Structure 1
Amino acid sequence: MTVVDARVRLPQHLRGNAEYRVPARQSESYDRVLGLTGKMNAGTLPALLAAMDAEGVGHAVMHAETEGGEAAPALNEAVARVVAEHPGRFSGVGTVDLDAPRPTRAARQTADVHAAGLLGVALQPAFFGLDIDDRLLYPVYSRAEELGLVVAVHTGVTYSRMHPMRHERPELLDQVACDFPDLKIVASHAGWPWVTEFCAVARRHPTVHLEFGGLAPKYVAKPGTGWDALFGMMPNVLRDQVLYGSDWPVIEPARALSEWRASGLPADALDALFAGNARRLFAIPDEK
């Protein structure tokens, strides 16, 4: 089976800024916990392709996500270029400008994402002081629902010490799913520490998927870490709503895939996690 990675980052060297730079209070805990700055600056497209080839990852969804300081149109153009230059290996998810957000601009940029052939929009509301259900984001949700785009939203803990976690609580995502019942939503990072509540949101809304990018699967499978409810539902009621993602370069595919395979999930649940659900959500053709 060829694996589909539902979440990799646009490499830093393809962005407008040659180095990953954010305020110190935003990066210090990310660097302490995940080594984010070093990984972002070291990660290159050739390295990503090599890691995919080594682990049987035939396709990856590249996200133009940003925590600030980068212009969305340039990020979207860079992702679209990677997709065009590597046909069959990548699909793309764009983004919109959320610093000083303007609803009309956000709606237009969402339409531009679709026109560029990208499959969705990535949003990180907490980094811009916005709730998931902030009214300023509703034009993005509305246009994305209309155009059939997936919206990937950062959920759960953010290690930035500048941005409170309350912006990304599960009830806020639930409100968006209620207001846009045909919108395909990905809860990026699967909402820890509110895992049980995010399971309830996904159980209520078949349009909501939970994605594990940037997480160590061995902890998802370990009792008492806060993931128990979701791990228990992955083989059954939520089997079709979970997505494997590495969030490369945060977690290397070799580590993530090895830990998932050692987690104890049955083969059919791993098949859905590793490829089936992402192919269906992003309309990625089956392997030949």
Structure 2
Amino acid sequence: MTLQIDAHTHILSMGTDAAFTKRYGREGSLTIYRAEGKLPSHRCPVDHEWEEIEAAEGKDGFGVVGPHETVAAHPGFDKIVALAVSPQYLEGRLMGTVDVLGQTDVTGEQHPERCNEYIAGCVRAEPERIIGFASVNPAYRGVKAAVDELARAVQEDGLKGVKLYPMYQHWSPVDRDLAFPVLAAARDLGIPVMIHQAGSTRIDAKMELGRPALLDDIGRNFRDLKVIIAHCGIPWIEEAMFMLTKHPNFYTEISYHIATVTRRDLFLFLHRAEPFFVPLEKIMFGTDFPGFLYDPVGLREKLLTVNEEAAVLGLPPIPQSKLDGVMGGNFAALLGLSDETAGAA
């Protein structure tokens, strides 16, 4: 049976300020609605236009999705990776993962500084299905606080990796004072690091901090650290893939990218990986659920049926064992999960 793991999802809310999180969600979906012709492309939409599209789509800003809803949206999946978002200031507002609806067992004041506690609460709510990744921001309270919190999240909360967001939080992933101590801590804790090293439609995100090639210095200095490039570095996909070519300890997951291409393009992407000297064992399935285009079932179907394109293109099919790896086996191997602990039949 094919092991099925979604290596990239988000969960709960992005802040305690409902009006601000709605604006944040609207900014994230604006490019999608513009491309679909549902919102004007030549100017910023006004409130009534947003309200009309949200009523029609049944979505209101950045949706709050809890652990049980996340599992329900992933029928047939063995594991789902829930990623924390560490605290940061955006437009003067503090944002990060919080449990505004009380969907976990974490009590007390709601605050993004407790983002990793909330993710651990999601794991406790669905222990057989959800894998939790922590997040820390060394630019928020300083490097020592970030390193200490990462150690606590792994050793006390049992989280299995860490997600970093340099371009959103305006620090370089190869800053030797800010980033390297966090990377060293992850290495010493024996956990993988997933880095949002890709583009973003968020206006405040710094694109110059998102280039995958920036991670080269990490590959040179942290050769025992498992590094996952999120979103396959989109739009710099070949650059991200070359980082996997160069560095044995680099991997990628294909959320966002998989949603923007046709099944034929996905087949060609996977077919070209090994001639580009990237073993398919380094590539992992992810969705970025609950984003607007990121239906786990539909994206799984796109991946698992790519070989239907082979005959049309006159190319050999991708070996099923390698597709199975992309679907879940590769992530399980990276995290050291056995078939039993991963849930494989």
TM-score by length of 2: 0.73
CA contact 1:157–1:193 (8 Å) conserved in 2:
yes
Q: Distance in 2 between matches of 1:8 and 1:138?
A: 25
CA contact 1:93–1:118 (8 Å) conserved in 2:
yes
CA contact 1:19–1:41 (8 Å) conserved in 2:
no
Q: Distance in 2 between matches of 1:88 and 1:232?
A: 35
CA contact 2:332–2:338 (8 Å) conserved in 1:
yes
Q: Distance in 1 between matches of 2:161 and 2:25?
A: 26
TM superposition shift of 1:2: 3.4
Residue 10 of structure 1 corresponds to: 11
Matched, 1:261 2:304: yes
Which secondary structure does the structure 1 equivalent of 2:29 belong to?
helix
TM superposition shift of 1:92: 0.7
Residue 240 of structure 1 corresponds to: 281
Q: Distance in 2 between matches of 1:32 and 1:59?
A: 30
Q: Which runs of 5+ in 2 are unaligned?
A: 34-53, 89-94, 97-110, 308-317
Aligned length: 281
Are residues 218 and 10 of structure 1, via their aligned partners in 2, closer, same or farther at CA, if it must alter by over 3 Å? closer
Residue 111 of structure 1 corresponds to: 151
Matched, 1:149 2:191: yes
One of 318, 325, 331 as aligned partner of 1:272: 325
Residue 210 of structure 2 corresponds to: 168
Q: Distance in 1 between matches of 2:260 and 2:206?
A: 27
Residue 80 of structure 2 corresponds to: 60
Residue 45 of structure 1 corresponds to: 67
Q: Distance in 1 between matches of 2:203 and 2:22?
A: 10
Q: Distance in 2 between matches of 1:114 and 1:145?
A: 12
- Percent of matched pairs sharing the same residue: 23
TM-score by length of 1: 0.86
- What is the RMSD computed on CA atoms of the aligned residues? 2.9
Are residues 243 and 72 of structure 1, via their aligned partners in 2, closer, same or farther at CA, if it must alter by over 3 Å? farther
Which amino acid letter does the alignment assign opposite residue 64 of structure 1?
A
CA contact 1:214–1:248 (8 Å) conserved in 2:
no
Deviation track 1:98-142 (CA, whole Å, cap 9, x = no partner) reads 443511111111211211211111111011111221221111100
Which amino acid letter does the alignment assign opposite residue 151 of structure 1?
V
TM superposition shift of 1:22: 5.2
Which secondary structure does the structure 2 equivalent of 1:181 belong to?
coil
Which amino acid letter does the alignment assign opposite residue 238 of structure 1?
P
TM superposition shift of 1:219: 0.7
